[in-house]
Amino acid sequence: MNPIDDQPYRMLIDGRWQAGGEGALFPTYDPATGDVLAQVHAATARDVDTAVRAARRAYDEHWRDTTPRERARLLRRLAALFEREVEKLAWIETRNVGKPITHSRESLSAMPASLDYFAGIIPAVRGDTIPMLNHASVLNFTLREPLGVCALVMPWNYPMTLTLHKLAPALAAGNTVVIKPSEITPLSTLALAALFAEAGFPDGVVNVVNGSGASVGEALVRHPGVARVSFTGGTATGAAIQAAAAADVKRVTLELGGKSPLIVFDDAALDAAVDVAVGDIVKNSGQVCIACTRLLVQDGIREAFQARLETRLAAIRMGDPADPQTQMGPLVSRAQAERVRAYLDIARQEGATPRSYPDPASRPETARGFYVPPTLLTTADNGMRTSQEEIFGPVQSLIGFKDEAQALRIANDTRYGLAAVVFTRDGGRALRMARRLESGSVAVNTGVRTSVDAPFGGYKHSGIGKERGLEAILENTQLKNVKYDTSL
């Protein structure tokens, strides 16, 4: 199947598909082959300004005054259209990101339910009445109101899923949006944008501008008409966005990097723990912010754990993402593959032993693309760069520990705090670890599975604010206090 449009992809501004103001194009690639997949029109700073102004006009003239019922109806209509187009969208994501088609189908098939969820909880966004301690005649209450124009700056690893998980609560709360997809993987977001007019959203409520973070992203984040910036991506970029947004005191939500630990005690269900480790290194080729990339295994079972993990990884089928039998595809770009390989060199220099499974050279279909096999760094310790820095690829460090206190100390010895996983049959220990681990999400005896109805976000350098759940809509609102003297 080839759903990729062979014409240059335009951008959506004020309900119209437009070329960039200077007519510039940039290529996006097929990670499985390295070939150019499509050409995309690049926005200028003036295009960004036009998009923000269109979003503000739509907010003032239409969207802020729509009823909760109307916003919910449009989101459900979008969910139905998405379900109709999910196969096409999955193929676009597979071609542009490099993830296996089975993975794309699985993740995108869940999106209509996510849209339905945000449509359903709109009535839960409400204010409170507050008793006045000294004024019986004064009615004191709060209102939850939208912010205005929200800028959504997207990553390249899950372009469709993460766009919808930012977009839906922003729209549900009554905001309008300008989306900047990653310049590496813009195609599925642009295909999604084509559904908004059919769903019935007014022109300008949703806008999409294409281009690099350094130019288009910078112009969008700094635009005075933007009230809130939501960003998912690397920590360094997130810090730069926070600094830029501070000039206009914009609201900021940042979902950033991770170096999550998988902590396996000697009483654990070993095969279940290995399942999580395999999934986190193979899924999307390890390009997942919450992936457990530090495997902390108690000394008494470390050899057994490593042996079972190596057996599983050696059987992974790495190859063409379009093949339904493929379990692991390429990395998203040549630059990302080179970055991961550079970290493997660093690991060797630091004294770790990289062990890779399987060998990409054994599969002819991997000869041209950006493939890096799943790799364990044995003889690793937590002080190594490869244990401290986010590699964002199929690489895990295997680190031993003696007891609960040491496991907790190693797990928290990182600037990140996005997620953590604990495997133990000791209920008391599980609760102690869950309370003391410095991370926004903790899973016990299962992997970290994000859910649309549960808040998600990190501690420390892993971010600010929450996405998903009711908290995601509240992040898109501002609270107003009203006092009304009913005696006059």
Whole-prediction pTM: 0.96
| Residue 111 confidence (pLDDT) | 97
Give me the amino acid identity at 88.
K
Verify whether residue 289 is a known catalytic residue: yes
DSSP E strands: which ranges in 157-250? 176-180, 206-208, 228-232
- Residue in 85, 183, 255, 390 annotated catalytic: 255
- Residue in 150, 283, 289, 475 annotated catalytic: 289
| Residue 367 confidence (pLDDT) | 83
Give me the amino acid identity at 329.
G
Instruction: Tell me the per-residue pLDDT of 374-431, one tens digit each, with 9 for 90 and over.
Output: 999 999 999 999 999 999 999 999 999 999 999 999 999 999 999 999 999 999 999 9
Block residue for tokens 């902590």:
263
Verify whether residue 255 is a known catalytic residue: yes
**Own/partner long-range contacts of 446-451 (Cβ < 8 Å, ≥24 apart):** 446/272, 446/276, 446/421, 447/275, 447/276, 447/279, 447/280, 447/292, 447/421, 448/260, 448/290, 448/292, 448/419, 448/420, 448/421, 450/290
Instruction: Tell me the per-residue pLDDT of 153-167, one tens digit each, with 9 for 90 and over.
Output: 999 999 999 999 999
- Alpha-carbon span 256 to 259, nearest angstrom: 11
DSSP string computed for 112-172: HHHHHHHHHTGGG----B---SS-TTEEEEEEEEE-SEEEEE--SSSHHHHHHHHHHHHHH
- Residue in 183, 218, 467, 475 annotated catalytic: 467
Residue ranges in the chain whose pLDDT is less than 70 = 1-3, 5-6, 359-362
- Residue in 99, 166, 180, 466 annotated catalytic: 166
Verify whether residue 467 is a known catalytic residue: yes
